[in-house]
């Protein structure tokens, strides 16, 4: 087999989620809740059980990251704003969309040489664009702070021993 035209396509987590949900819907793999409150599978044998298991696991993982709160409009507008205002590579824009950084540290982890390529004001503007299109919930912020405090407390306990 010879590849005549190589195409590169980068997908966001949101696009992958939508595609997998459509596959599940097309194949009737989605679970239905019965009158007992338990999840029931429609009586239909899966054509490809491996694909069903993989799609179910990935959708479950993405749903834990609150992906269903995103919309096509927000994702496309955020990509447009980031790409038009900053000289970011395609993959960097995609990583910003997927990880939704809320601090300079997380932004610097996603964008290569961010501190050298962008001023602090530009970095803050990137974070503001992300927060504009994907507002964070208070629960997420508090959860992150509690995890940091727990890690500090664990380190202090280890040092005392």
Position 125 pLDDT exceeds 90: yes
Whether 61 and 93 share a structural domain: no
User: Domains in the chain: how many in total?
Assistant: 2
Chain segment 23-38, per-residue pLDDT in tens: 888 887 765 545 565 5
Two tokens, residue 51 = 């694909």
Residue 36: the pLDDT is: 61
Query: Which CATH number is 108's domain given?
Result: 1.20.1250.40
- Helix (H) or strand (E) holding 33, with range, is strand 32-33
Q: Using an 8 Å Cβ cutoff, are 126 and 118 in contact?
A: yes
pLDDT band at 45 (very low <50, low <70, confident <90, very high): low
Between these two residues, 139 and 51, which has the higher pLDDT value?
51
In angstroms, the CA 111 to CA 130 distance is: 14
* Same domain as 17, residue 65: yes
| 70-121 tens-digit pLDDT | 888 888 898 899 888 889 888 888 898 988 889 899 898 888 888 888 889 9
Rounded CA separation 102/51 (Å): 34
Domain extent, residue 116, equals 86-133
What is the C-alpha separation between 11 and 98, in angstroms, rounded? 10
């Amino acid at each position: 087999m010879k590849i005549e035209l190589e195409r590169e396509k980068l997908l966001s987590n949101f696009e992958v989620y939508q595609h997998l949900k459509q596959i599940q819907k097309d194949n009737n793999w989605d679970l239905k809740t019965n009158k007992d409150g338990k999840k029931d599978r429609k009586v239909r044998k899966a054509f490809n059980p491996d694909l069903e298991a993989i799609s179910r696991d990935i959708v479950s993982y993405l749903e834990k990251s609150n992906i269903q709160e995103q919309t096509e409009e927000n994702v496309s507008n955020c990509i447009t704003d980031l790409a038009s205002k900053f000289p970011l590579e395609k993959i960097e824009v995609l990583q910003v969309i997927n990880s939704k950084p809320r601090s300079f540290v997380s932004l610097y982890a996603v964008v290569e040489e961010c501190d050298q390529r962008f001023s602090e004001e530009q970095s803050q503007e990137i974070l503001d664009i992300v927060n504009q299109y994907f507002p964070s919930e208070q629960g997420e912020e508090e959860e992150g702070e509690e995890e940091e405090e727990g890690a500090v407390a664990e380190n202090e306990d280890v040092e005392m021993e």
